[in-house]
Structure 1
Amino acid sequence: MADRLSQVSGHLTNSYGRGLLAGEVAIITGMCWRSWSGIGRSAALLFAKEGAKVVVSDLDEKKAQIVVDEIKAAGGDAIAVGGDVGADDFPQKVVDAATKKYGKINHIVNNAGFTFDRMLHTTPDDAWDVIQKIHVRAPFRLIRAAAPHMRFKVRRENRSVINVSSISGLHGNVGQANYATAKAAVVGLTKTVAKEWGGFGVRANTVAFGFVKTRLTQAKEEGASIEINGKKVALGIPGAKDDPNAQYPHIPLNRGASPDEAAAGILFLASPLASFVTGHTLEVTGGQGI
């Protein structure tokens, strides 16, 4: 027991001196859109700041490259991989890019996603199916593709899988039967990975976000959309407040989170600070839903 504690203590001490993720390799999916900073972008920048080599992935490779350029300008190391996380060839493509460039994978952050809101009784099959494909099937397939590079026993190598869920997945939400179901499924997937891969020293955790100021929570009236399978899907929340002084009485902290605050929750779960945390769902919600 004393030896194990000593190993953990030493790992933490070394990491603090060089960054919490010094020398580690992380794949992060889903970056940003227009002028809104995404959680993925913030996580990529934060991971790089803490010493990680980051494989930055986005549907639009140009957006991924912008984030890579930001990381490199700050002295970090990163590569961009474009592609649809739901595409059959995507998992192997990003895993191969990571291992060819850096030789290993320490962390997978399944962050990519979007909403396709409808009231349950008006939700068409395609709106249901695409959300399950991107939020459940895609993370499962990426984790599976990375298995040969993560399921091995090595002395205290820090490795983790972090899947992004939502307060909708924990409590349900009006107009989000598809999204809430997918985000609830992610929790079950994470717990299973934790149980199957724990013996290899791989931790698996979920981070469930509440109201974070991103493209998905801006006012729907602004007309933001994303094209999925040739169909335009409207993004945002009807009547959402775009006021820095807006009040949110349903959130105990009375405000929404910034993407940087959301990313900090992801960093915690990936870092040695969470070395004995696995199978857990971290709620980064400002207290919403308690």
Structure 2
Amino acid sequence: MSAAPRTNFPNGMLAGQTAIITGAAQGIGAETAAILAHEGCKVVIADIDAGKAEKTAQAIISEGGSAIAVGGDITNNESIDKLIQQTVEFSNGKIHIIINNAGYAWDDPVEKIGDKQWEQDTIIALHNTAPFKLVRAAAPYFMVKDGEPRSIVNISSTSGIHGNAGQASYALAKAGLVGLTKTLAQEWGPEYGVRANTVAFGAIKTRLTQAPAEESFVIRADGTKHAVGFHGGYDEEEKWVGDIPLRRIGSPTDAGRAILAVVSPLFSYVTGQRSSLGSQNSGSNNRKVSGGRGGM
């Protein structure tokens, strides 16, 4: 038996790589960006809120990391083109990692979901069409044979695995990401060595899963604000942890570390897979439908 190689990365596990992270101005995306930057990765903070994206990038830079912010609506073709262009300029012509993280839920029971709420410029467009278009635009930087690692991570949800009352559009969209991921693994893996995986989050405490507050909102493609959170939220932790084996709600740091693991050399032989975090045994968040509030 040959000696096992040491897992020693003096410059970080992702040294020399560049990652695009969508929805990275705050929450899981921002924490993931900081964690990847700490491992030597250049990170591109992509978000519709350009101001917050810039603050996140500057915070990473102040800690010794390398980051830029690119504001724009990821459901817009021109924004995707700008994102790719600025990333390539920042990274000297290479993209190694894409993390499709941008998203939110718009909850309602099936009989009350309107067409716009279902797909037009919102849930399906943001969670399915935008990741597809971003990956398609980045294809020239992934379909290469330069011996460097390439990885795509699509952020899903346990709602896309088990379903969740009040989240028909969100559950469909998040389930669809799994199919896209597996297809990418099969198409770009054999010849180019690209890995593609899905990480599905359940009980993670972010502004999307806390009690609604005045400052808790996402910006839609049309510039309007959409309130997020749900009544009680995960702030009332004792109500939610009974079916979670670790008996606690996950944090953005927990989520970011999981994403790091998936894109790191430690997962170099893992592709086409789905990892779940914070999933309850019941397979449901058991939330009351609040009619328009978002949530993970």
Taking structure 2 as the reference length, the TM-score comes to 0.88
- Does 1:153 find its partner at 2:145? yes
Structure 1 regions of 5+ residues with no counterpart?
A: none
Distance 1:288 1:143 in 2: 33
Q: Retained in 1: the 8 A contact 2:234–2:240?
A: no
Partner of 1:91: 80
Q: Retained in 1: the 8 A contact 2:44–2:69?
A: yes
Partner of 1:209: 201
Distance 2:215 2:256 in 1: 26
Partner of 1:111: 101
Task: Name the aligned partner's letter for residue 127 of structure 1.
Answer: Q
Partner of 2:270: 277
Q: Deviations over 1:10-37 (max 9, x none)?
A: 8x54xx12101011000011124xxxx5
Residue range with higher mean Cα deviation, 76-85 or 229-238:
229-238
3-state SS in 1 of match to 2:98: strand
- Does 1:18 find its partner at 2:11? yes
Greater helix content: 1
Change (3 A) 1:57 1:189: same
Name the Cα RMSD after superposition: 2.0
- Does 1:138 find its partner at 2:130? yes
Which of the residues 251, 255, 263 maps onto 2:244?
251
Instruction: List 4+ stretches of structure 1 deviating above 4 A.
Output: 243-247, 286-290
3-state SS in 1 of match to 2:276: strand
Q: Deviations over 1:165-191 (max 9, x none)?
A: 000000000000000000000000000
Partner of 1:190: 181
Distance 1:261 1:250 in 2: 18
- Does 1:65 find its partner at 2:54? yes
Q: Retained in 1: the 8 A contact 2:208–2:216?
A: no
3-state SS in 1 of match to 2:184: helix
Percentage identity across paired residues of the two chains: 45
Distance 2:215 2:10 in 1: 46
- Does 1:172 find its partner at 2:156? no
Taking structure 1 as the reference length, the TM-score comes to 0.90
Distance 2:186 2:48 in 1: 31
Q: Deviations over 1:192-236 (max 9, x none)?
A: 000000020110000000111111101136673334225543311
Partner of 2:232: 239
Task: Name the aligned partner's letter for residue 119 of structure 1.
Answer: P
Change (3 A) 1:256 1:81: same
Question: By how many angstroms is 1:285 displaced?
Answer: 1.7
Task: Name the aligned partner's letter for residue 97 of structure 2.
Answer: H
Q: Deviations over 1:84-115 (max 9, x none)?
A: 11112122111111111212100000001111
Task: Name the aligned partner's letter for residue 111 of structure 1.
Answer: N
Residue range with higher mean Cα deviation, 47-56 or 278-287:
278-287
Change (3 A) 1:244 1:122: closer
3-state SS in 1 of match to 2:198: strand
